[in-house]
Amino acid sequence: MYFTRTPHKIYSLAGLKIARIRLFHFAMDPLYKKFLHCACVYLCAFTNMHAATLGLTCKDALQVFSQNETLALQGQVNELKALLAHHRPPITGAGYKLIDADLLQDVCDIFDKKYPPDTRVAPVPTEDDADCPLGTRSIWSNVHYYRHNGLEMQDGLAQNSLQAIIMQVLKDALGEMSADYCCTQSNKAIESARHALIGAYDTCEWDTFSNQQLQEKIVWQAIDEHFDQMFRDLLDWDHNTPKWF
């Protein structure tokens, strides 16, 4: 069987051979080889540089992310510490600092000096106050402000009320670092006295409950019981709780 080639195929094959010969000679040209070598070197350098840059960028991004997470966690820790400081003193051995402290006696001495027993008003002066004792602003309460023309105002009574005296006695015993804790506990002490007065009024008539000495005895006993519970809680905290500060 014979195969014939058309003229255009012959021309195409001839042209292909010529192109191959020229390409071979061009590839063997020293200038072309030098150009090809430089191109390869540049391409490798660009690839390595791009990879290094990409790696540095990822490293920087990871570092920034880590720093942001650390700052966020630190902010949350500070918030928790601030919240915890109202319920536990940010010091170690707080309970032991109160062992030799006679808190109730110190509070009574200061209060009696500021407001002598024979001149001061009763904790619950009228029967109208018996349902919500210590709920109005007085030397016995923890209400620190009064309203004037719709505005909340303060005066010297805020720094000389029973609550303020309790807070100062606690701060003297535990230190200024425990100021938030002392403020919270002084308010809780007044709340304990308020509940004790309500309970006493519910068990007797006003004629009996109106006795000022009886009312004051109820107040002091409630505050003393609060101090005892506070002391036990602090000792338990010192003995059994991990130190977060």
**Residue 81, token pair as written in the block:** 């510490």
pLDDT score recorded for residue 200: 95
CB 193 within 8 A of CB 215: no
CB 150 within 8 A of CB 169: no
pLDDT score recorded for residue 28: 55
CB 178 within 8 A of CB 171: yes
pTM for the whole thing?
A: 0.65
SS3 81: helix
Mean pLDDT of all residues in 6-23: 46
**Which neighbouring-strand residues pair with 152?**
147
Q: Is the pLDDT of residue 146 over 60?
A: no
Measured from the Cβ of residue 228, the count of other Cβ atoms closer than 10 Å reads 12
Q: Which residue has the tokens 């919240």?
A: 83
- Summarize pLDDT for 103-132 with one digit per residue, the tens: 999 999 999 999 999 999 999 999 999 999
Mean pLDDT of all residues in 6-28: 47
- Summarize pLDDT for 154-203 with one digit per residue, the tens: 666 778 899 999 999 999 999 999 999 999 999 999 999 999 999 999 99
